[in-house]
Amino acid sequence: MDKLIAQKAKALLKEPKKIVIIGHKNPDGDAIGSCLGLGFFLKNEGHDVQVIMPNDFPEFLKWLPGCESIIVHEKETDKSKDLIDSAEIIFTLDFNAFNRTGDIAPFLEKSKAEFILIDHHQQPDDYAKVIFSDTSMSSTAEMVFHFIDALEGKKSITSEIATLLYTGIMTDTGSFRFPSTTAITHRVIADLIDAGAINYSIHEGIYDSNSEDRMHLLGVALKNLEILPEYNTAYITMSQKELDDNNFKKGDTEGFVNYALSIKGIVLAIIFIENKQENIVKMSLRSKGEFSVNNLARKYYNGGGHTNAAGGRSEKSLSETISEFITILPNYKNELTNED
Ligand code: 5GP
Ligand code: MN
C-alpha cells in the first residue's frame, strides 16, 4: 500500500471517530468478510463502528463472526440513514461507485463524512479522500489486511478478523485458484492462519452448507446449459418459476456460472437469472484469459466488475435478453476465438 495513502488514512483515524463501513448490494463473501474484518479492527482501536449492507446476505455467510451486528439498510432504513448522516468517516469496501449500493446511494451523495475507499474493481469513481484502489489485488479482504498492516496493526489481528479476511480472500479467488491469487496472497493467508483462521472450518462453513433445494436447483441449471461452440461461449438460464419450484434462497445460484466456464475450451460463460420482483434479468459473467467481461457488462448490461468476473442486468424479458445476447456475440467473435 502506497505510503502517502496510508499516512492520509492514519491522520484521519488518529482520534476516535464515528465510522460507518458499507459494502455493495447483494453482498458476497468478500464484501461481508472485508467490512466485518475492518470493523473489528477499528472497534478494537477505539472507534465507534457500524457495518451497513444495502440488502440481506446469503445463508452460507451467516455463521461469520459479527454478522449479527450488521445493519441491513433494506430492513432498518431509518437506523441506517441516521448512522450514515452522523458518520464522520465512511469506508466503502469492495465497490467503487455509489450506485453499487442501491437505495443507500442518495444518502452517500448527501453525506458530509470523509470517505475512504478500499477496492479492487476497475474504474473507480472519484468520491473519496483516501483512495486505496488496486485492480491487481485478489480481493478487498486482502487489501484490508495490507491496510491494517500499513497502520501497524498486524499484531492486533484477532482470530475473528483472521477468519473474516480469510473468508473474503477464499471466496473471491475461487479458493486460491484465479490468476489474481499471488505469492503475496498466500503469504497473507499464512499470516491469517497464524492469527487464528482455521482454514478447513472456514471451507466447510462456506462450501459444505448446501441445502437439498440448492442441489436440485443446480440440476436444473446444468440441464439448461447451452453451448455456442463457434463463440467458445456457454450460458445457463434460470427462470423465476424454476427458482420458485426449488424454494430459491439468496445465494443459492452463487457459483453455478463456474460450471459453464469449466467446460473445455469455453472462454465466456454467463448465467441469466430472472428476477420478477425487480423486473430484471440479473447476470453473472465469467471469462478465461484476456477476454474482458467487465467491458461487455459495462457496454451492454449496465454493470461491470473485473476482467474475468463481472455482473450486470437487463430490463428485457429472459427470452429477449438471451436473443439479444446471441446477436451481440458476433461483435466479439475474434476476441472469443483467438484465445489460447
Ligand atoms: P457476481 O457475478 O458474482 O455477482 O459478481 C462478479 C463481480 O462483478 C463482483 O466483483 C461484483 O462486485 C461485480 N458486479 C456484480 N454485479 C455488478 C453490477 O451490476 N455492476 C458492477 N459495476 N459490478 C458488478
Ligand atoms: Mn471483491
Separation CA 312–CA 284 (nearest Å):
7
Positions in the chain whose pLDDT score sits under 70: 339-340
Q: What is the distance in A from the centroid of ligand 2 to the CA of 94?
A: 5
The 3 state secondary structure assigned to 250-289 is CCCCCCHHHHHHCCCCCCEEEEEEEECCCCEEEEEEEECC
Q: First CA to last CA across the chain, in angstroms?
A: 33
How many other C-beta atoms are found inside a 10 Å radius of the C-beta of residue 147?
Answer: 24
Question: What's the pLDDT tens digit per position in 131-154?
Answer: 999 999 999 999 999 999 999 999
Question: What's the pLDDT tens digit per position in 29-70?
Answer: 999 999 999 999 999 999 999 999 999 999 999 999 999 999
For the CA of 31, the closest atom of ligand 1 is 12
Ligand 1 residue neighbourhood (C-beta within 6 Å): 24, 100, 121, 284, 303-306, 309-313
Q: Which three cell numbers stand for residue 91?
A: 469506508
CA nearest ligand 1 atom 17, residue: 311
Predicted TM-score (pTM) of this structure: 0.94
